[in-house]
Structure 1
Amino acid sequence: MELLISFRKVCLRNYEISKLKLNKHVDIKPEEVLLEDLKWENESDVNTVPNVSNTPVNDQINKKLYKCDICLKTFARRNCLIRHINSHTGLKPYKCNICLKSFALKVYLTGHIKIHTGLKPYNCDICLKSFARKSNFKAHKIAHTGIKSYKCEICSKSFTQKSKLTIHKRTHTGEKPFQCEICAKSFGRKFSLNIHNRTHTGEKPYQCDVCMRSFSLKSHLITHTITHTGIKPHKCEICLKSFTQKSSLLKHKKTHVTLVQNHFRKILPKYT
C-alpha cells in the first residue's frame, strides 16, 4: 500500500513539473515558482520556511527543497530530482546508437560512448594510465596517495573509495541488490551483473585486433593477445616448461602431482 501511495505522489509531482514547463513562457515571478515547488513537500515543511517571499531567490535555491517521495533523498534543484526519480522507475531514455545499451542519465551515455571511440582524455601524471571518465580518473589518483579514509566497522579493513567500502560490506551482510531480470540470479556488484547479462545476450565487446576474435571479458582478451606475441611468462618450477596462460600452467602442474602419486602407489605395496 505504501508503495502505491509513493507512486501516486511521484505521478502528481511529474504533473506539476509538466505544468511548470508548459507555462515557461508566462511571466511568473521566481517567488511564485518556489512557492509552487514547496507544495510538493509535506505541509509541515512548508510552514517551517520563514517569509519565502522576502527571502532572496538564490538562498532558497541553495537549500535542499526537493524531496524524493520514495527514498526521501533531497535535492537543491528540481531537474536533479527528476533525474533521480529515474533510478526508481528504471526508465533509461538515453540509448547508445552503436550497441543499443540504454542509460538513465545522459552523462552516463556520454561516458559509455567513449568505450566505442577509444577516447581517454584523462591521463595520470604518475603512471601514465588513461581514463575515459573523469570520475574513474579521480578515484585512480587517490589510489596513488595510499590514503584509505573509509574503514569497515566490522573487520576494520580500509578503502580509498566509499563505493569500494559499500561493496565490501556486502561480503559481511550477504546483500545482493543487483538481480538479473532473466534468470533472477542476484549479485553484490553491478559490474558482476553486467558481465552475467552477457551470458544471456551473447555480447562480446572486446575484440582482438589481430585475429578479430571477440571476448565477453577484457581479461580474457588480454590473455588471448599474449598467444600472438609468442611470450610465455608462466614457467613450471619443476620442469621449466613455459605457458602463455596461468591456467595452463596450473593444469600442467597437476601432471607432476599425478606422476608422484602413481609412483608411490607402485612402491608402497612392497613395504606393507
Structure 2
Amino acid sequence: MSPATLTGVGAIALWAFLALLGRWAVPLPPLQVTALAFAVGGSLGLAIVAARGKLARLRQPPLAWAHGVGGLAGYHALYFAAIAWTPPVTANLLNYLWPLLIVLLAAPVLGMRLGPRRLAGTALGFLGCALLIGGGAAMPAGSGAGLLCAVAAAVVWATYSVTSRRMAAVPTEAVAGFCLGAAAMAGLAHLAFESWVVPGARQWLAVGLLGAGPVGAAFFLWDVGMKRGDPRLLGTLAYAAPVASTLLLVIAGEGVLDARVGLAAVLVAGGGLLAATAR
C-alpha cells in the first residue's frame, strides 16, 4: 500500500467516529454543529497551510469554491440533522448509501460502465436500507424528516465525491478555505433558521473533536488519498466505515445491535464491497 493510499485510510478511520461525535453534540441544532465543527477544522487547517507558506493555494476559481463549500456544508448539515431526528444507528446506515450511489453515478457522470457485479452490489445495499425502514422497523413518531435527511446526505456526498474527480488540479491546501467557507455558510443558515443553543461541556468536546478529526483532518487525508493513491482500494476499504461506525454507536449506548440492524449492516457493507471489487 502506497503512502498516499495509507493516508486515505486515515480518513476512513476518522469517519467511523462521525456518528458518535454527532450524537454527543445533541441537542445543538444541526446547522450550529456544522458551523462550529467546520470553524474548528478550517482554522486548524489554515494554521497548518500558513505555517507551510502555501496560503496562495487558497486562490481557486469560483466553481471550485462552490463545489467544495456546498458539498461539505450541505452534506454535514443533512447528516447531523438525520442523527438528531432519527434513531442514530438507522440514520447512520442509511447515510452509508453514498458509496453505492458513487458506483451508480460513475456511469452518467464519469462515463464508467456498470457491470452485473456492481449492479448486484448496489441492489444488496438498497436491500439493507429497505430492511432498516421497512417491515419490523420500530421508528419513533416524527422520524420521517430524519430518514429523508439521511438519504439526502448520501446523495449529496456521492455527487460531491464523483464530481471531485473532475477537479484534480485543485490543491489539497484549498480544503482549509472550503472548510471555513462551509462554516460561514452553515453559520448564516443557522442564524436564519435556528436558535442558538448554549453548548455544555460535552457538546464543546464533541465539536472540538469533530473539527479536529472527521470534519477536519479527514478531508485533507481523503483528498491526498483520492488524488495520489489508489481510489479503487480506498473505495473498497470505505465500506468498513458503516460497520465500524454502527458498532461504536452501540458500544457507546446510542443504539441497539439487534438482528435486523446487524443484517442491514452486513448487506450495506457487503453490497458495497461487491460493487467496489468489480473489474
* TM-score bin, normalised by smaller chain: under 0.3
In our comparison, the structure showing a higher alpha carbon Rg is: 1
Structure having the larger proportion of residues in strand: 1
Scaled by the length of structure 2, the TM-score of the pair is 0.21
Q: Which gives a bigger RCO, structure 1 or 2 (Cα 8 Å, sep 6+)?
A: 2
Scaled by the length of structure 1, the TM-score of the pair is 0.21
Structure having the larger proportion of residues in helix: 2
